[in-house]
Amino acid sequence: MPGHDEEILVPLGEVQRLALSGARPLPPVQMPLDEALGCVLAADVVTSEDVPPFANTAMDGYAVRAVDTAGAPVELQVVGVLGAGAASIVGVGPGEAIQIMTGAPIPAGADGVAIVERTEAIADDDGDGGGLGRVRILEPVVAGMHLRAPGSDLRAGSVAVPAGTMLSPAHIGVLASVGAGLVTVHPRPRVGVMVTGDELVELAADGSALPLAPGQIRESNRHALLATLRRDGFAAVDLGLAADTEEAVTAGLEPALGACDAVLTSGGVSKGAFDYVKVVLGKLGASAGGGVHELSVALRPAKPLVISWLPSTDGTSRLLPVFGLPGNPVSSLVSYQAIALPVLRVLAGHRPAAPPSVPAVAAAALRRQPDGKTHLIRVQVRWRADGRLGARATSGQMSHQLAGMAAANGLAIVPDGDGFAEGERLEVIVFGPIEAMTEEADV
Ligand code: AMP
Ligand code: MG
């Protein structure tokens, strides 16, 4: 065992590649369309129908023969009224028009629509009130105007949504528009969260907080990690709090292996005497042949990390990735964002990729000491008046200072060295909303 001084720090990129090695998308399932938001489509959806299915009007007005309106203003005889959903029984002959509402089919004979705003209705003048009257068309109608051709959104036989697409609300609408009520998607990975620590006090089921005894602190990682998983579109599974014993950690993990696709644990992966997560994942990973890596990542915060692959007990014997995240509240979230999330995204059907980052400039200096590690500094990223993003460190950058994380919407990637001067360009992993620019927003 190398002592603390000879500890080998593994570069973040190498750890990310290791974590992603062997990660495969979960086998596709059929899912009701309305449950599939955020899931990744596993097969092209080809439409067998034209959308729209028939020529219809884009505007309220009168269906006419364009040729009849060339000398506008002209008067035409109204021979019918068509609402959306009605099928036209009569056609439009010479000198005739049919009043037509948005979405109604274009009647036979008509080739254009005079919008209602450019017409004047003339009441029936034969006195019996039974006719539909006449209409004065004030401007010539151009053939094809205000018509929606069949297939002008999607043609029958074309790919409506390609495989690999993460379904947005608009995609859900497109799939409904082609009648795809069931879709073939990669399921949302079920990700378990187990926290460890004898010092931790949970919130009571009714939401009340018990008094803290000496040495105790409130448990927060489970809440934060479960919420993060839900935010990222995964099915979060609460595996509870395990005491700092080998038996408790083993017992806490067991149900997860049959009910989850991946597991996150927090705490117990450092060099402390009661750090049993490392011991348990080490033993289980080694005996299962899935492999285990006890790592010191060249990263601050979030240096300690265990990655293990444990066999599922759901009968498939596939290997589940298990991430032993560090217990410090900021470290666990940073480790998730930088290392676990890319793997969970692959399970969900996304292509393997490091966490995406965006260019920004340092709104104030981001200083650090050289220490062989990449620092991920919690920053608030905002739009500047010059159209660039400005990143400013939040206050409270130690790994227990969760408030400093909560005030941030990004992690500035600060490579080993002495950091960035104000105005220097850098990359930020953005994980929260960026406020729209207001006049005061120039940071
Ligand atoms: P560990 O990684 O278990 O050595 O924990 C590192 C630090 O994080 C310690 O100060 C723990 O008390 C704290 N910690 C660990 N787990 C949690 C948790 N679930 N919620 C809040 N703090 C935690
Ligand atoms: Mg602990």
Expressed in angstroms and rounded, the spacing between residue 330 Cα and the centre of ligand 1 is 10
The number of beta carbons lying within 10 Å of the beta carbon of residue 53 is 12
pLDDT at 35 over 90: yes
Token pair 């790994």 in the structure block, residue: 399
Tell me, yes or no, if the pTM score tops 0.85: yes
CB atoms within 10 A of CB 89: 9
The one-letter code for the residue type at 400 is: H
* Closest Cα to atom 19 of ligand 1: 221
Ligand nearest to the CA of 195: 1
pLDDT for res 124: 73
Please report, as a single letter, which amino acid is at residue 234: F
pLDDT tens by residue, 169-188: 999 999 999 999 999 999 99
Q: Atom 17 of ligand 1 has which residue's CA nearest to it?
A: 327
pLDDT band at 96 (very low <50, low <70, confident <90, very high): very high
319-346 pLDDT per residue, tens:
999 999 999 999 999 999 999 999 999 9
Provide the b/e sequence for 255-293 (b: ≥16 CB within 10 Å). ebbeebbbbbbbbbbbeeebbbbbbbbbebbeebebebb
Residues 344-380 have pLDDT tens digits of 999 999 999 999 999 999 999 999 999 999 999 999 9
Q: How large is the average pLDDT for residues 276-281?
A: 94
Mutation to probe ligand 1, out of 196, 200, 264, 331 (largest number of atoms < 8 A from CB): 200
CA of 253 to the centre of ligand 1 (A): 18
Instruction: Write down the number of H helices and E strands in the chain.
Output: 8, 29
The confidence band for 134, taking pLDDT boundaries of 50, 70 and 90, is very high
Distance 329 CA to ligand 1 centre (A): 7
User: Which DSSP state fits 213?
Assistant: P
- The mean per-residue pLDDT over the stretch 277-301 comes to 89
CA distances (Å), origin 84, targets 58, 70, 88, 209, 411: 11, 27, 10, 58, 52
Lowest mean pLDDT among 109-118, 216-225, 278-287: 278-287
Atom 16 in ligand 1: residue holding the nearest Cα: 327
Q: How far is the CA of 19 from the centre of ligand 2 (A)?
A: 23
2 band by pLDDT with thresholds 50, 70 and 90: very low
Using one digit for the tens of pLDDT, what is the confidence trace for 226-242?
999 999 999 999 999 99
Query: What distance in Å separates the CA atoms of residue 117 and residue 104, rounded to the nearest whole number?
Result: 18
- The per-residue DSSP string of 36-94 comes to -TTPEESS-EE-SS-BSSS-EESSSEEEE-GGGGTTSSEEEEEEEEE-TTPPP-S---T
Pocket of ligand 1 (CB under 6 A): 195, 197, 199-200, 217, 219-222, 266-268, 270, 272, 326-329
What confidence category does residue 439 fall into, taking pLDDT thresholds of 50, 70 and 90?
A: low
Per DSSP (E only), the strands in 146-302 are: 147-148, 159-161, 182-186, 190-196, 200-201, 217-218, 235-242, 262-266, 292-296, 299-300
CA of 411 to the centre of ligand 2 (A): 25
Report residue 1's pLDDT band, with 50, 70 and 90 as the boundaries. Answer: very low
Residue 440 pLDDT grade (very low, low, confident, very high; cuts 50, 70, 90): low
Tokens 């037509």 belong to 100
Pick from 321, 328, 326: which is nearest to 304 by CA? 326
DSSP-derived letter for residue 10 is B
pLDDT reading at 286 higher than 90: no
Average pLDDT, the chain: 95
Q: Which residue owns the Cα nearest ligand 1 atom 15?
A: 327
Nearest CA to ligand 1 atom 10: 328
DSSP helix/strand/coil, 217: strand
Q: What Å distances lie between residue 304 and 7, 250, 280, 293, 407, CA to CA? A: 11, 20, 15, 11, 24
Asked if 360 contacts 383 with a C-beta cutoff of 8 angstroms, the reply is no
Q: What was the pLDDT predicted at 116?
A: 97
- Other CB atoms within a 10 A radius of the CB of residue 235 amount to 14
